[in-house]
A = this chain, B = another copy of it.
């Protein structure tokens, strides 16, 4: 059986993560003090820092859980995408965007992104970066799938195209969380317009 120590550790970790996530939701990131998180998790402040390097780190951890769900839900679309390139790309991207604000506010996204840029070496920033990479791969895989199906012309560098589409949507998402007034619908429309030229040009002539 797993040792007592390992079990206690897993349990404390879960409690801290849960306490932080709930406090962030209730009072926002800035107003949630480490002391409060520790108290709700029934550990000391010092223990908090045994589990997370700093305050931003634990927010990135909660965001990572979210991204993992997005990745999972994207699989279905990559498996069985709409027929045309543009529709397929938009279906996947809209899925990403729709998921983004279910559990997390724009503020939380801002801080998570900022933290992952500012302290790229912290364990959870690495994790976040790795998940970003997997999202990027997912877009590339979709383009490859469309290529196999004949919807995208052969000879196109599917990976390069996938990366460009992903980087574009990621940057647009940053813009979206930066600007409180921007709606999800406006974001989707803008990205759709940006994708159109590339999507049409890489598509096989008869299928467009």
Question: Which A residues lie at the B interface, using CB under 8 A?
Answer: 110-111, 113-118, 120, 129, 156-157, 160-161, 163-165, 167-168, 170-172, 174, 177-179, 193-198, 201-202
Contact = CB atoms under 8 A, between A and B. Distances in A.
Nearest to A172: B167
Oligomer: number of copies: 2
B193 A197 contact: no
Contacts of A179: 120
Question: 10 closest A-B pairs (Cβ-Cβ)?
Answer: A167-B171, A114-B114, A114-B118, A201-B201, A120-B178, A167-B168, A114-B117, A164-B168, A160-B194, A164-B194
- The secondary structure that dominates the A interface is helix
Contacts of A198: 161, 164, 197-198, 201
18 contacts: A110-B117, A111-B118, A114-B117, A117-B117, A120-B178, A157-B193, A157-B197, A160-B193, A160-B196, A160-B197, A161-B197, A163-B194, A164-B164, A164-B198, A167-B170, A167-B194, A197-B202, A201-B202
Contacts of A197: 156-157, 160-161, 164, 198, 202
Contacts of A164: 164-165, 168, 194-195, 197-198
A56 to B, nearest CB: 9
A174 to B, nearest CB: 6
Contacts of A118: 110-111, 114
Nearest to A167: B171
Contacts of A177: 117
Given A160-B197, A170-B171, A198-B201, 12 more contacts: A110-B118, A114-B117, A117-B178, A120-B179, A160-B196, A163-B168, A164-B165, A164-B197, A167-B167, A197-B202, A198-B198, A201-B202
Residue of A118, A165, A177, A179 with most chain B CB atoms under a 10 A cut-off: A118
A164 B164 CA distance: 7
Nearest to A179: B120
